[in-house]
Amino acid sequence: MERMRAMSNDQIIQHILSNRNNYYSILFVERQSSTDQIKVNYKKIAVRCHPDKNHENKQASEAFKLLNTAHSTLSDTTKRGVYDRNGVSGVQRHESGRPGAAGGARYAHYGAPPGDIFEELFGFRRQAARGPQRPRPGVHVEEVDIQPQILILIPVFLLLLLSIFMGSSSFFSEDDDGSDLSRGGRGVYGSSLRGSQSVAQQFSLAPDPERGYVVPRVTTLHQLNVKYYVSRKVEEILKHKRELLLAVEENVLKSQRNYLNSRCEAETYLYRSQRKKAIPKICEEYQEYRRKIG
């Protein structure tokens, strides 16, 4: 972090953009760094590159999103392992192949599963009247505070290996754009379900020419308008596959919700460092997304 402290905010933003596929470098940590150290660095960097503190730098928002992606990946033990073995594309394939990720990767692109910011940062829990608490996506049974025995861990390891195998043998190759779907040879569902999931998570909330995400689109689902980017070939598919378009928009909105969640956390941290007691406005926007899409 000594290097980061010597850098200006603009230099930090440029550093993040220049290392978009190197999550360890983005967070100024080593590969062997602990989860706690990653979280500490994330909070310090988030304050420096937050868009609200860098109004004149138009790249601050994109850098902040990349920072959130790096943090959500390296702070999750499973995704960090996949990233260490297979890089960014491996994490995306892993997300698209996760059991229960209907309609595509549930939290692809800037998507840590949204922790309840108001529980963690403001010190209270939601009322029971809102309904029973469901397990947060991505939280596994083995994470319950129970001393595991080796016989219990064996099936867990087998499921993990199966999940990784399914992700690496995705319906499409890494450069595949889902052309089978555009030709109508297979339905969006049924035997091509994993293929449609792969297409449904091929988007970015910011332009990403390196991966071909340069065609802008805007969501209309739930009356929420979020700008996102897809490749030209995926754009052609979405013109003819409304079910797939809806799946993509659902994923985009969830990614935007998670992005707002991260900004809410970072801005709350900033407010506290300035001894402000108010709730940041971005947190209100995050709550609106939670009400509309869950």
- Token pair, residue 293, equals 């899409």
d(CA 14, CA 29): 17
**The predicted structure's pLDDT at residue 155:** 59
Task: Quote the radius of gyration of the chain (alpha carbons, Å).
Answer: 19
Per residue, the 3-state secondary structure of 7-39, as one string, reads CCHHHHHHHHHHCCCCHHHHCCCCCCCCHHHHH
**The predicted structure's pLDDT at residue 217:** 94
Beta bridge partners of 87: none
Average pLDDT, integer, range 151-162: 57
Q: How many CB atoms lie within 10 A of CB 56?
A: 7
Average pLDDT, integer, range 164-189: 39
Cβ atoms 241, 188 nearer than 8 A:
yes
**The predicted structure's pLDDT at residue 110:** 43
d(CA 234, CA 40): 38
Q: Is 204 helix (H, G, I), strand (E, B) or coil?
A: strand
- Token pair, residue 242, equals 């409304």
d(CA 267, CA 104): 30
DSSP H or E run through 216: strand 215-218
pLDDT tens per residue, range 74-102: 999 999 999 999 998 888 887 766 544 44
Alpha-carbon separation of residue 235 from 104, 109, 179 (angstroms)? 16, 18, 11
Residue 195 pLDDT exceeds 70: no
∠ CA 162-97-151, rounded to 5°: 30
Cβ atoms 183, 195 nearer than 8 A:
no
Packed helices 60-74 and 35-49: angle between N→C axes, nearest 10 degrees: 170
Residue with the two structure tokens 């900033």: 270
d(CA 178, CA 185): 11
On average, the pLDDT of the chain sits at: 73
Type of residue numbered 193: L
DSSP H or E run through 228: strand 227-230
Residue 22 pLDDT exceeds 90: yes
In residues, how long is the chain? 294
CB-side neighbour CA atoms (13 Å) of 147: 0
**The predicted structure's pLDDT at residue 98:** 54
Type of residue numbered 110: Y
Residue 196 pLDDT exceeds 80: no
What band does 160 get if pLDDT is binned at 50, 70 and 90?
low
pLDDT tens per residue, range 199-256: 777 888 888 888 889 999 999 999 899 999 999 999 998 998 888 999 999 999 988 8
The pTM is what?
Answer: 0.43
Q: How many CB atoms lie within 10 A of CB 220?
A: 12
Ordered by where they begin, the domains of the chain are 1-92 (1.10.287.110), 203-293 (no CATH)
**The predicted structure's pLDDT at residue 113:** 42
**The predicted structure's pLDDT at residue 144:** 42
